[in-house]
Amino acid sequence: MATSEVNIFCRQMSGIESDKGYSYDDVSRIAKSLLDRVKSRPHIGIICGSGLGGLADVLENKEEISYSEIEGFPVSTVPGHAGRLVFGLLGGQQVVLMQGRAHLYEGYDVHKIILPVRVMKLMGVRILFVTNAAGGINQDFKVGDIMIIKDHFNMPGFAAVNPLVGPNDDRFGPRFPPASQCYSLRLREILRKHAEKLGMNSFMQEGVYCFLGGPSFETVTECRFLKVAGVDATGMSTVPEVLVANHCGMEVCGISLITNSCVMEYDSKQVANHEEVLETGEKRAKDMQKLIGAVVADLS
């Protein structure tokens, strides 16, 4: 990491160990400051995972703001995450796109990670698309497959690593939100419809995503456990953002790009690595762009 990036990271990290999230008034102020800087009034949000930030390239009338210029925003330190908020038009719809995200393994508190989602909500975003790069647990999945997320397994949540821990402000959402319908059936059906129209059925999947903290890739035993638990793909992001989006009443669509196959055999010489993740993301980027663009255009 360059010295300037380290300095930004340290400023963003200061005090977050005791921080249990920004207040409703804080988030409102940040949202208003962003809307004051741009002409766009987005109602659709898109979070881009590792290697998938190229979707910003197809936006029209783009307006960009670096995370480092936004109060409270966590600055991504991972290759493949540019760290910009991009406003513009996609398929005729006004959208705001997160070109990269922050993760628990970077040292951020979970309450810091979800700040952008609440800011998007108070900017007027009603529908959220969340994308990620994931490892395939399901042995029928191939590298390059696109998985529509139908449910998730929040492994850190078993130890109360949940962005909704702490005092609840009813203006954001209820104290005990149901999580059984986090991923919109309506949006999943629209996604499948357009995948078929675009001739993508051969590499489209649907399944359960598991969130693990990282940054280590999974052990063989962990992968085998997840398979038994009904998990199809695993990654190091997405679930905190989805929980908060669901909490505040946003309609959510989750999409995983299977960028590597998880190692399931103890004597395997296969090794997971981030370079493979970025390479697969680059190869499948245009398909992801076409698919998300078609779905967004259908939401008019």
**Residue 279 known to be catalytic:** no
Active-site pick, 31, 56, 120, 133: 133
Active-site pick, 147, 236, 245, 285: 236
Which two structure tokens, joined as six digits, stand for 70?
């936004």
Active-site pick, 31, 81, 218, 285: 81
CA nearest to 259, candidates 237, 235, 276, 271: 276
Active-site pick, 50, 132, 256, 261: 50
Active-site pick, 237, 246, 256, 261: 237
Active-site pick, 22, 76, 102, 106: 106
Active-site pick, 28, 82, 274, 276: 274
**Residue 120 known to be catalytic:** no
**Residue 200 known to be catalytic:** no
Which two structure tokens, joined as six digits, stand for 217?
């890739």
**Residue 274 known to be catalytic:** yes
**Residue 50 known to be catalytic:** yes
**Residue 106 known to be catalytic:** yes
**Residue 111 known to be catalytic:** no
**Residue 194 known to be catalytic:** no
Active-site pick, 40, 138, 260, 261: 260
Active-site pick, 40, 103, 108, 111: 103
Active-site pick, 66, 105, 272, 276: 105
Residues annotated as catalytic are 50, 81, 103, 105-106, 133, 236-237, 260, 274
